[in-house]
Amino acid sequence: MGQQFNALKATELYCPTCRVSQPVRERAVESAGSRTVELLCFRCRTVVGTHTTTEDRSFSGRLARFAGRLLRGLG
């Protein structure tokens, strides 16, 4: 009772190979100017998702990303 598992913050995504939602592990793939993070199924290592981040740590860069998120949210 009252047990909490929040410490394990695993994202789960649907894996087409396992045909069930699985926890994912992240694998960063560095390339010129950007960083792609692959989300691999914890069990079978199928890539179930990716997201790319542009390495832009400047304030304007963060602002642009924030504005982009806002715009997508409105769309």
Q: Which stretch binds Zn ion (CB under 5 A): 4-12, 14-22, 26-34, 64-72?
A: 14-22
Is residue 13 near Zn ion by the rule CB under 5 A?
A: no
User: In which element (H, E) is residue 73 found?
Assistant: helix 59-74
Backbone angles phi, psi at 63, to 5 degrees: -65, -40
Burial of 59 (0-12, 13-18, 19+ CB in 10 A): exposed
Q: In the complex with Zn ion, which residue's Cβ is closer, 9 or 19? A: 19
Is residue 20 near Zn ion by the rule CB under 5 A?
A: no
Is residue 18 near Zn ion by the rule CB under 5 A?
A: yes
Q: Which residues bind Zn ion (CB under 5 A)?
A: 15, 17-18, 22, 41, 43-44, 46
